[in-house]
Each structure stands twice: as structure tokens, then as C-alpha cells.
Copies of this chain bind each other. A is one copy, B any other.
Amino acid sequence: MEEKLNLLNKSIAEIASLTGIQALLDWDQQVNMPPGGVEDRSNQAALIGELIHHRSTSPELGQLIEDLAKEIGDLDAEDDSARIVRQAKRNYDMLTKIPVEKMVEFIRLTTQAHEVWFKARQTDDFKLYQPVLQRIIELKKEQAELFKPYDHIYDPLLDMFEPGMKTAEVQEIFATLRKEQVALLKEISQAAQVDNSFIKKNYKKDLQEKFAKHVISKFGYDWQRGRLDLAPHPFTTEFGHGDVRITTRYLENDGLSALFSTMHEAGHAMYEQGLDPKYYRTSLAGGTSLAFHESQSRMWENLVGRSKEFWSFFYPSFQMLFPEHLEEVPFERFYKGINRVAPSLIRVEADEATYNLHIMLRMEIEIGLVEGSIQSKDLPEIWNAKMQEYLGITPPNDTLGVLQDVHWSGGLYGYFSTYALGNLISVQLWEKMLSDMPNMPDDMAKGEFSGILGWLRTNVHQFGSKYRPQELIQKITGSKISPEPYMRYLNQKYRQIYNI
């Protein structure tokens, strides 16, 4: 078995080299590549993609995994080898279950759908988009059916991003969350609004960068194993655990957007930097799930980066860098301003108190679409009704409504919920961390974050994807994913900010 396991690890390590190369091709394209490079770069990316697919789905690999699975028996055992094989089997099954010709059809359709979606959004024409969207939904249903048996047809779609998670579980979590978050938002909306006009100005880019680098250095982002660059959209990428890079972009009319997005990406990156080296280049490299990944980015961005303690330490330096905007803004006003809550039409602009509502709306629609209780032709109407119900606003058109996100045109169903689950997990971890280290807020107020990073390394980062998300959160906190801690957090924070 030892020998077979070595063979498996060798195969997976080679695939990891190829995916690292693929990530570099993409990063360079977004960060450095001159326009003339496009044609050769797509050839290169296609070739590497082919090599990865070929190796990841080879019958030899399948046989090896099959043999090992038999020899090991209990793939859920705590043992590393069992988990390595379990994860390899999961990845292999996921890639091979869908027949190649169906996969090709799917890729062709989503490529086309992306263009149609883009045009529909530009011309505010949902009807243009609807037929291709409908076809994608049908293909997704076909894909889901290949993973029978399941409790709900949405389960396999969810499972692609959140291993082991069930539709019923998420629905139950979201039912409580939605009710309580809508209620809180209503109260906030009736309270006196806080001012954040001092943020919506032009802050010098080089000073923004200096400050953001300073902050994530304090967090513990390891510059020996990463770098920060400019790209049209912020993202994290890795070419190996020794080289986990992040990007950001600076807005002309917002002095903090880049900072928060840099903290967010640093949160993702530190998760990858924190993996136990024994898992490098194995099937257990990479985080537990998308939601767990998001819990890390949101924790550093929100629980740390938008906290009173954080800014009690950093505000004097930030004020010093930007006296023209902040000289006359006292700390309390600043702190409230960066935590301003306002229902918005656009998900990516949403704040902590409204973000999950955008997510839940999308997940309800997705479930409806695949189980057939919602028809794609009715989407604009349903979207707008839910927006009014949850956020109290109605999009004036579909471009600012149902057409805003790229995800569905790319065939990403089951993905959105991970954003909200990530928020919930972040606070569950936070509460446990606070009970383990009651000094943590004081440390933050001293600009000291090594306790937090150390705790995350020990409890989350080191394990990679050894555990499933529900398994890991249970192991750490004793509970499964739950909305209560998040609601406690929102209530405590925002009732103070809005005096309610």
C-alpha cells in the first residue's frame, strides 16, 4: 500500500505543478501581460488545461485510487492516508462522472452564455439572456442527476463547493438568519444614518498601498512567500504554498475599498500559507471548502479590519497619512462611517449587515430553478420582489437587478451560498477564539495579531482539506454551522453604532 500511496502522491504532486503553472499563466495575464500576448497565452493555457485534465482523469489514476480505497477500507478514518485517498477519490469522481462530450457541450454553452449575458447586461435586456440561461439550468440538472442518490437535486451542486453540505441544512440555517437579519435591517433603516462622506474622496494611491502593506504585514502575511500587485479585480492565487500572491486595485473615489479588499485577500492567502508542509502538493492541499476560505477572508476584513480595536491602534497613522481628508474626523465618526449600513442594489457593494440577504435571495432562486418551482422567464419579477422583501428596495432595471452577477452564465450554481456560510463560520470561530484568548481584543488594540493568526493556524489552516466543513467547525467549536453567533455579532455591533 505504501508504494501505491507514493505513486498516488507523485501523480497528484505533478498535477499540482501543472495547476501552479496554470495559475501563473493567469496571474501574469491579469497583472503583467501586454495586449499582444493574448493569442499565445490562450494556446498555452489551453495546453496546460488539457494536460491537467488528461492526468486528473486518467484511468490509471482511477485504478490506483480504487485499489487504495479498497485496501484502506474506512476512508473517513482520521488517518492522513485515508483522508488523502478520500479527497483524491472525491476529486477524481467529480471530474470523471460527467461524460466528456457533456462537459464539452457545457463549456461551449457557458462560453457563449458569458457573451450573451454581457450584452444583455449592457442593453438591460433579460429576454436576450433567458434562453441560454434556461439551457444552462437544464444541463446543470442533468449534471446533478449523475450524482444520484441525493436528498435534493441541489445537493450535488452545493457539494461541489461545500463537501458534504446538504440543501436542507443550508435552508434551515438561512431561514433563521433571513428572518433576524431582515428585522435588524429594518431597525437600522429607521435610525439616524451615519456619515461616511470623508471616505468617498480621492486618497493618494501610493499612500494607500503603503498603509495596506503595513496592515497586512502586521496581520502576518508572509512576504517571503507572496507579493501584492495591481490587477483589474482583487484576487488571491498560488503557484505553490511558498508563493501565494494577492492583487488589489485602487478606486478614485474611495479611500478604503482597496484596504479592505487587501485585508480580505490576505485572509485567503494566509490560509494557504498556513498549511502544514506535510500536505504540500497532496490532495489535502488547499482549504476545507469555499465557505471556510471565505470565513478567513471575512474575518480579517470585517471582524478584525472593521473593529473598533483595530482602528483604535491604526487610526492615528491613517489620519497622519491623509490629513486633508481626516484631520477633522474624530475617531468615533470614522469608526461609524466605515461601518455604515445601507441597503444597496449591488451585492459586491453590500455591507456586513446586508450582504447575506443578497446571498440568500440568490440561493433561493437557484434552488427554485433546479427543482422547477421557479421558471427562468419569471426571474426579473421574482428577483425584484425578493429585493423589496429583504432589503426594502426595488431595482429600477434588470442590469441593477437579476443581470448583475456573472456566476449563472458560467454555470456556477451552489457557489453563492458559500459567501454567507463563510460569514457565519467567521463569527463562530471568532467566539471560540475569544473564549480561548480573552486578551485578544486588547492585543488588537495594541496592533498585535500574532495570537489570532496562531490560533487560526492551529485550528484551521494547518489541516488543508483534511476535514469536511461541518466536521471541522464541529471539531473546533463543538457546533455545526449556525446563524446565532453571527446575529449576536451584528446585533451587538450595529445596535451600538446606530443607537438602537
Contacts from A to B (Cβ < 8 Å): 13-14, 17-18, 20-21, 24-25, 28, 32-41, 43-44, 47-48, 51, 222-227, 239-243, 281
**B224 near A47 (CB under 8 angstroms)?**
no
Contacting residue for A17 out of B17, B18, B43, B240, CB 8 A:
B43
Please state if A41 and B225 are interface contacts (CB–CB under 8 Å). Answer: no
Whether A34 lies near B240 (C-beta < 8 A) is: no
Q: Given A25-B21, A28-B24, does the pair A224, B35 have CB atoms closer than 8 Å? A: yes
CA distance A455 to B71 in the complex (A): 70
4 new A-B contacts, CB < 8 A, other than A39-B242, A43-B240, A44-B240, are A21-B25, A24-B24, A36-B242, A40-B243
Contact B13 A226 (CB under 8 A): no
B36 touches A243 (CB 8 A): yes
Contact A34–B223 (Cβ < 8 Å):
yes
Q: How far is the CB of A240 from chain B (nearest CB, A)?
A: 3
Determine whether the beta carbon of B40 is less than 8 Å from that of A225.
no
Cβ–Cβ < 8 Å partners of A51 in chain B: 51
Q: Are A239 and B20 in contact (CB under 8 A)?
A: no
Complex contact B18–A242 (CB within 8 A): no
Closest B residue to A43 by CB, please name it: B17
Whether A38 contacts B242 in the complex (CB less than 8 A), given A21-B48, A48-B21, comes out as yes
CB <8 Å contact, A225 and B37: yes
Are B36 and A20 within 8 A (Cβ)? Answer: no
Asked if A239 and B17 make an inter-chain contact with CB atoms under 8 angstroms apart, the answer reads: no
10 contacts between A and B (CB under 8 A): A13-B43, A17-B40, A18-B47, A35-B225, A38-B242, A40-B239, A40-B242, A43-B240, A44-B239, A44-B240
